[in-house]
Amino acid sequence: MEMLAALDDLDAAWGKLAAAPVGALNSLEALAVLDRLERHRRRLPALEHALLVQAQSQGTAKEIGAKSWRAALCQRLGISGADAGRRLAEAADLGPRRTVTGQPVEPLLAATAAAQARGEIGAEHVGVVRDFLAALPTGIDAGTREAAESQLAGLAGGLTPEGLRQVARQLLGYLDPDGTPDDEGEHARKRGLSLSPQGLDGMSRLTGWLTPAVRTALDALLAKLAAPGHSLPDDPVDRSDRDTHRDAQGDTRSPAQRNHDALGEICGQVLASGGLGHHNGLPVTIVATTSLAELSAAAGVAHTGGGTRLPIRTLIRMAATGRTNPYLALFDNPAKIRLYHGRRRRTASPGQRLALAALHRGCTKPGCDAPPNRTQVHHAHRDWQHGGRTDVNQLTLACGCDNRLVGDTPTGWTTRQRPADNRTEWIPPPGLDRGQPRINLYHHPEDILRPADDPG
């Protein structure tokens, strides 16, 4: 194949380049080499875009054993979901296209794609152009959008990404001087909230955009609950003897901290109401699993149904306030819990779900980060319709998308339980198998750090 042969040549050339002595270069020569390498780095995505478009044009991700093309890239290339999503989105905008009759058509962002293929602009420049176009109101006509994209792409090669962002901001002001304060369509398009993964300190960043309607409702709630003296973190359920004026006088929290605590109060009241029913077989409340030793010592962390690591001290304080009614599952050793129902029932019991949540902490497919409350119980040893048993040592957790990938087809995944520890192994179809791990350790980072000879 011509492309594979060219890659062999590239591997040989790269080996020669990497072996060249760096120590003989002076500062200016080193910068000149870096400049050349940067141009090659910038050109690489253009080829990736074409390959991604070609792969998607030849079939569906399901046909090669993946739940989506995003998942296929993660699995085959070993990259993150965010990176895979970004590459697919850029390929859709910058990759080659064809009409229904097979005729070639320019990319959606033709000028940007051409500048990238020449190595004039990098990924950050492309991001600025795409963000600019996403910010344009839908009422801007196609011709104006194309001209603006072409102008930014032409300027980008001579600017840093920061400089291009300034120009894009100015151009957006020219094209949309009044903004779109009354455009409900634009509001609906931009709305959204994102919660980042927990940082090393356990904190999470909340970002997003609220529609005017949601902002209005939040304003009304915060006016009361975020006022000085309200929503104090250690408030008991019964506040009948509270002196709100006295509490307000001694409230040293910042406005941002009061807003945070008010959000906690809102969440606590909703959970305590009991009006949300059940989700995936368990009441909608805080489900936390920990060991008896950690709870007794008031140290360590519990793992919640949403995938959050919650300090034991915080869990105890939350339970003491009585506002969230946490559902606490205690196991001396979750791996030894055995709850059997055999063929008497098809679906897992609440007790089995708690045991599985404690054991697996989320979806068991390698690389999946779905927490327990976004998973289904899957018959890992043998599917129910083929005689599987609803016994805890034959069950596992899998998110809906991954659960549907398991099947007796050439592109289907297979699962099996390891008898020693009830961990679930996922065996990929041949097209996605690159020798990757069969066990998902995303939810068990302690197992990665534990020495191989430590039984745990």
**What is the SS3 string spanning 247-307?**
HHHCCCCCHHHHHHHHHHHHHHHHHHHCCCCEECCEECCCEEEECHHHHHHCCCEEEECCC
* pLDDT tens digits for range 396-418: 999 999 999 998 888 899 999 98
Q: How far apart are the first and last CA of the chain?
A: 49
187 within domain boundaries: no
Q: At residue 193, does pLDDT exceed 60?
A: yes
For residues 50 and 142, membership in a common domain is answered with yes
Looking at the fold, whether 425 and 370 belong to one and the same domain comes out as: yes
236-248 per-position pLDDT tens digit: 554 545 556 667 7
- What is the pLDDT at residue 180? 55
Tell me the CB-side half-sphere exposure of residue 95, using CA atoms within 13 A: 21
202: in domain: no
**34 & 173 share domain:** yes
Shared domain for 354 and 315, answered yes or no, is no
Determine how many CB atoms are found less than 10 A away from the CB of residue 396. 29
Per-residue pLDDT for 210 more than 80?
yes
Lookup result for tokens 């046909």: 63
- Domain contains 6: no
Same domain? 327 vs 341: no
146 occurs within a structural domain: yes
Note whether 296 and 232 are same-domain residues.
no
Residue 10: inside a domain, yes or no?
A: no
Residue 12, CA distances (Å) to 9, 15, 18, 23, 117 in order: 5, 5, 10, 21, 23
**pLDDT(269) > 60:** yes
Looking at the structure, tell me whether residues 37 and 163 fall in a common domain: yes
- Asked if the structure places residue 322 within a domain, the reply is yes
Same-domain check for residues 44 and 168: yes
Residues 402 and 316 in one domain: no
Mean pLDDT within 283-296 = 80
- Identify whether the C-beta of residue 334 lies closer than 8 Å to the C-beta of residue 302: no
Q: Do residues 173 and 301 both lie within one domain?
A: no
- For residue 362, the enclosing domain spans 335-449
Mean pLDDT score of the chain, rounded to an integer?
86
pLDDT at 181: 52
The count of other CB atoms within 10 Å of the CB of residue 172 is 18
pLDDT band at 21 (very low <50, low <70, confident <90, very high): very high
- Asked if residue 190 is part of any domain, the answer here is no
Q: What is the mean pLDDT of residues 277-301?
A: 80
314 within a domain of the structure (yes/no): yes
Domain final residue, candidates 133, 150, 178: 178
CA atoms within 13 A on the CB side of 188: 4
The pLDDT assigned to 40 comes to: 94
pLDDT more than 70, % of the chain: 90
Same domain, 76 and 40: yes
Domains in the chain: how many in total? 4
pLDDT in tens, 297-327: 888 888 888 888 888 888 887 776 665 555 5
Q: Which pTM value belongs to this model? A: 0.62
Token code pair at residue 152: 């930014």
User: According to the model, what pLDDT value does residue 235 have?
Assistant: 62
Residue 49 sits in the same domain as residue 122 = yes
